[in-house]
Amino acid sequence: MHTEIVLLPDEMPRKWYNIIPDLPEQLPPPKDPERGESRLDFLPKVLIGECLKQEMSQERWIDIPEGVLQLYEQAGRPRQLFRARRLEEYLKTPARLYYKAEFYSPTGSHKVNTALAQAYYAREAGYERLTTETGAGQWGTALAYASRLCDLDLTIYWVRAVHNWKKDRRALMRMYGADVYASPSDHTEFGKTLLKEDPNHDGSLGIAISEGLEDAAGDDTAAYSLGSVLNHVLMHQTIIGLETKKQFELVDEYPDIVISCLGGGSNFGGFAIPFYHDLLIEKKDIRFIAAQSEAAPNLQGEYRYDFADHAEMTPLLKMYTLGHQVKMVPIRGDGLRYHGCSPILSLLRHKGLLDTIAYPPDEKYVFEKAQLFVQKEGFLPAPESAYSICCAIDEALECKRKNEEKVIAFNISGHGLLDMEGYEAVLKF
């Protein structure tokens, strides 16, 4: 039995999977608030046309353009699936653990899968610049890389609490030629208002999204690119789960439990949605678990319409939310600190098809599991991905207690090579 399961470039899936027509009920559409200007009319002014088209598409399979396939190959796709044999042996579990290696990406995470698609479509549409938000910084770096490959300028609004400690990642974004601002920033009117209240404001993803939207709205040559939550973003990410399914076929295995960390939902969605296809259509028995932080347990919030950003510039989305202006303490896995969850995954949760676990915000429990993973498997996960690992280990130990021989699949969405300060601060070495 092999430890590393690989696909050749020719075996890379050539279509993304759009789950919308297969959902157990119709996805509640975005809508306008009762008062104020139409947010729905605002979207085409700031979003890339092709992405907006995909957002509402009822087509089940959407061709990945040849240009994007080439970019995926350039970025190292397909990526390996590994069997975590050394970890299994250490845990003495009857479970079989498999992890997908999204950390093998030029910028360090799964975020390149939609960054490359969005930058490609933006260039095709004639834009010269993109604007965006970033939390962990992985999305900002991925879009900086994709924008450079597609000859676009990029302005990044980066949640201040993270911007201030991830100096090397900021330098990497600048290596690619992006402009980077700590958010809230004095580069937008909304940012200035918040800075007046608190010059050291920690920021949040919701605030950074508002700043990026305001910036794009004021420049006809610019479009806004979002790194998570929206349907088209999750669809671009399905390349992860589609590859993983092919890899499981190669070793004649199939997961009983599918696990990943979840902030806005792009990583979890990209990995899990192709397996949800099998659950919904082929009635396969699969358990899905999203790993989160108690600092932002959005899947334990309310299922209702809410804004996706702090300044209420977006339409209302039906999702699990903690409230778009809620205060959440910063954590080292700050990419998980977002108030709402993607509408697609929220609907699946509402239907009882998505379990969630939230770990304590001091992150000690989670990072100790990441350290165990490093010592057994050798790869250093991003702080966010440490949550996937932690949940997979907990489930493997549960299998040991019950003597159950389950197959557990999890995605390691990014590497933590630029995040050591976070691990050091929590694990105190």
Q: How far apart (Å, rounded) are the C-alpha atoms in residues 333 and 165?
A: 12
- According to CB under 6 A, which one of 235, 299, 357, 382 is a site residue for ligand PLP? 382
Q: Write the CB contacts of 312 (distance below 8 Å, at least 6 apart in sequence).
A: 33, 36, 39, 324
Query: Does 395 help bind ligand PLP (rule: CB under 6 A)?
Result: no
Q: Which stretch, 115-123, 130-138, 150-158, 211-219, contacts ligand PLP (CB under 6 A)?
A: 130-138
132: its two tokens: 């965006």
Query: Does 267 help bind ligand PLP (rule: CB under 6 A)?
Result: yes
Whole-Å CA distances, 346 to 226, 236, 269, 302, 320: 18, 18, 11, 10, 6
By beta-carbon proximity to ligand PLP, the closer residue of 268 and 320 is 268
Query: Does 263 help bind ligand PLP (rule: CB under 6 A)?
Result: yes
Contact 260, 355 (CB under 8 A): no
Burial (CB count <10 Å: 0-12, 13-18, 19+), residue 312: middle
Largest CA distance in the chain: 61
262: nearest Cα among 170, 370, 184, 359 = 359
By beta-carbon proximity to ligand PLP, the closer residue of 123 and 140 is 140
Query: Does 264 help bind ligand PLP (rule: CB under 6 A)?
Result: yes
Binding mask 402-421 for ligand PLP (x = CB under 6 A): -----------xx-------
By beta-carbon proximity to ligand PLP, the closer residue of 343 and 414 is 414
Give the shortest CB-91-to-ligand PLP separation in angstroms. 23
Query: Does 384 help bind ligand PLP (rule: CB under 6 A)?
Result: yes
Give the shortest CB-205-to-ligand PLP separation in angstroms. 8
What are the backbone angles phi and psi of residue 323, rounded to the nearest 5°?
105, 130
Binding mask 167-196 for ligand PLP (x = CB under 6 A): ------------------------------
Beta-bridge mates of residue 223:
130
| Strands laid side by side in the 129-134 sheet | 179-183, 153-159, 129-134, 222-224
What are the backbone angles phi and psi of residue 91, rounded to the nearest 5°?
-75, -15
Give the shortest CB-344-to-ligand PLP separation in angstroms. 12
Give the shortest CB-359-to-ligand PLP separation in angstroms. 14
Burial (CB count <10 Å: 0-12, 13-18, 19+), residue 221: exposed
Q: Which stretch, 20-28, 133-141, 247-255, 307-315, contacts ligand PLP (CB under 6 A)?
A: 133-141
Q: How far apart (Å, rounded) are the C-alpha atoms in residues 32 and 54?
A: 20
By beta-carbon proximity to ligand PLP, the closer residue of 135 and 361 is 135
- According to CB under 6 A, which one of 48, 336, 358, 408 is a site residue for ligand PLP? 336
Q: How far apart (Å, rounded) are the C-alpha atoms in residues 63 and 169?
A: 33
By beta-carbon proximity to ligand PLP, the closer residue of 185 and 342 is 342
410: its two tokens: 């999890």
Beta-bridge mates of residue 79:
none
- According to CB under 6 A, which one of 109, 141, 155, 293 is a site residue for ligand PLP? 109
Query: Does 225 help bind ligand PLP (rule: CB under 6 A)?
Result: no
Give the shortest CB-73-to-ligand PLP separation in angstroms. 22
Query: Does 13 help bind ligand PLP (rule: CB under 6 A)?
Result: no
Query: Does 356 help bind ligand PLP (rule: CB under 6 A)?
Result: no
- According to CB under 6 A, which one of 51, 112, 136, 357 is a site residue for ligand PLP? 136
Whole-Å CA distances, 132 to 5, 105, 162, 219: 35, 20, 15, 14
Binding site for ligand PLP (CB under 6 A): 109, 135-136, 138-139, 228, 261-268, 335-336, 382, 384-385, 413-414
